[in-house]
C-alpha cells in the first residue's frame, strides 16, 4: 500500500499533508473554467483541503471555490480566513456569513485569523467560539503568528482551542525551525505551510535549479517542485498548501505526498539550504 503523509489536528481530525491554495485564483475571469477544473481535479486526487480567504480578490477566490466545490462539498475540508480588522466578535460573524454565502455552504471546516491586528486576541477567540457554537465553523486557528503570539494566544480563555497556525515555510525560508516549529511540536498543534513552492521569482528559481535539489529529485524520479512539497511535509507536522491553476501541476503536486525522503536526502538538502541557527523574524508575505 502506498503510504501518504498526513497531519493530525488537536481534535483528532486527520488530513492529507498536501492541500490546495487559492490566492489569485478567481482574479482573471478568462481562467475561470481552467481554475475550477484544476481545483476539482485536486480534490479527486486527494488534496481535499482547500484554503481561501475573504481577502483573496476581495471575495473572488471564495466565489470561485464555491463554484468548484458545488456537488462535492462533503468531500472538501474548507478553510477561509478573516481579515484582522474584521476579527472583532461582532464583525467577525458578518464576515464569516459573507464568506459562507460566497462559498455557497453553511459551514467552514476551519476559520483562521489571517494575521494579528489591533483587536485583542481574547475578543477574536470569543467570536470564533461563538461561530463554533452556532455551527458556522467547525474549528478555528490563526495565521502568521510567531512564538510570542502563540504563547499569548494560549493564555487567553479558550485560546487553547486553536487547531493550527498557517505560516510561510519552504526550503528557502526555514526560520520557523528555530523555535516556532518546536513550540508547535511540543503542543501537538500542526502548522500549515503557505507559499511552499516559494511563489515565483528569483528565490524559487534558485531552489528548483539547485544542483542538490535536482539531484535528489532525480533520484526519486520526481520534479524539483514535488521535492519541495515532499520536503515541506516530511515531519508529519506540516500541511502544505501549493496553489495551482493548472491540472498538470495539480496532478504533480498530489503525487508528492507519496514521496518519503531519506535521512541522506534531508542531510544533503540541509547542506544546500541550512536552517538559521538563531531566531529570525517570521517571514510574511
Footprint of ligand NAP (CB under 6 A): 21-23, 51, 114, 143-144, 166, 194-200, 225, 241-246, 249, 252-253, 285
Closest separation in Å from C-beta 263 to ligand NAP = 25
- Number of residues that make up the chain: 285
User: Which is closer to ligand NAP, CB of 104 or CB of 251?
Assistant: 251
User: Which is closer to ligand NAP, CB of 124 or CB of 166?
Assistant: 166
In whole angstroms, what is the distance from residue 186 CA to residue 180 CA?
10
User: Which is closer to ligand NAP, CB of 18 or CB of 100?
Assistant: 18
User: Which is closer to ligand NAP, CB of 20 or CB of 268?
Assistant: 20
Residue 194 known to be catalytic? no
- Selected catalytic residue, list 56, 111, 169, 257: 56
Cell of 283: 517571514
Residue 2: Cβ-neighbour burial (10 angstroms; 0-12, 13-18, 19+): exposed
Indicate the residue whose CB is closest to ligand NAP: 21
User: Which is closer to ligand NAP, CB of 210 or CB of 244?
Assistant: 244
What phi, psi does 260 have (nearest 5°)? -110, 115
Closest separation in Å from C-beta 138 to ligand NAP = 19
Closest separation in Å from C-beta 21 to ligand NAP = 2
User: Which is closer to ligand NAP, CB of 134 or CB of 250?
Assistant: 250
Closest separation in Å from C-beta 112 to ligand NAP = 7
Closest separation in Å from C-beta 250 to ligand NAP = 7
Closest separation in Å from C-beta 49 to ligand NAP = 10
Catalytic residue numbers, as ranges: 56
Amino acid at each position: 500500500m502506498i503510504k501518504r503523509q498526513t497531519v493530525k489536528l488537536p481534535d483528532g481530525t486527520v488530513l492529507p499533508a498536501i492541500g490546495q491554495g487559492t490566492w489569485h485564483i478567481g482574479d482573471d475571469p478568462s481562467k475561470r473554467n481552467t481554475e475550477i477544473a484544476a481545483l476539482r481535479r485536486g480534490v479527486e486526487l486527494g488534496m481535499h483541503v482547500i484554503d481561501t480567504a475573504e481577502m483573496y480578490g476581495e471575495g473572488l477566490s471564495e466565489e470561485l471555490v464555491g463554484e468548484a466545490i458545488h456537488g462535492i462539498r462533503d468531500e472538501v475540508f474548507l478553510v477561509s480566513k478573516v481579515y484582522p480588522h474584521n476579527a472583532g466578535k461582532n464583525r467577525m460573524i458578518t464576515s464569516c456569513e459573507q464568506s459562507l454565502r460566497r462559498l455557497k455552504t453553511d459551514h467552514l471546516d476551519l476559520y483562521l485569523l489571517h494575521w494579528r491586528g489591533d483587536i485583542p486576541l481574547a475578543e477574536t477567540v470569543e467570536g470564533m467560539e461563538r461561530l463554533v457554537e452556532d455551527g458556522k465553523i467547525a474549528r478555528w486557528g490563526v495565521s502568521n503568528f510567531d512564538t510570542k503570539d502563540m504563547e499569548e494566544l494560549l493564555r487567553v480563555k479558550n485560546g487553547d482551542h486553536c487547531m493550527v497556525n498557517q505560516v510561510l515555510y519552504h526550503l528557502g525560508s526555514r526560520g520557523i525551525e528555530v523555535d516556532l516549529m518546536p513550540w508547535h511540536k511540543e503542543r501537538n498543534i500542526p502548522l500549515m505551510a503557505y507559499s511552499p513552492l516559494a511563489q515565483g521569482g528569483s528565490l524559487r528559481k534558485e531552489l528548483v535549479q539547485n544542483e542538490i535539489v535536482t539531484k535528489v529529485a532525480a533520484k526519486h524520479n520526481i520534479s524539483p517542485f514535488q521535492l519541495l512539497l515532499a520536503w515541506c511535509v516530511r515531519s508529519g507536522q506540516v500541511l502544505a498548501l501549493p496553489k495551482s491553476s493548472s491540472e498538470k501541476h495539480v496532478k504533480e503536486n498530489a503525487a508528492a505526498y507519496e514521496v518519503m525522503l531519506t535521512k541522506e536526502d534531508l542531510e544533503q538538502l540541509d547542506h544546500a539550504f541550512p536552517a538559521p541557527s538563531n531566531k529570525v523574524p517570521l517571514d510574511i508575505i
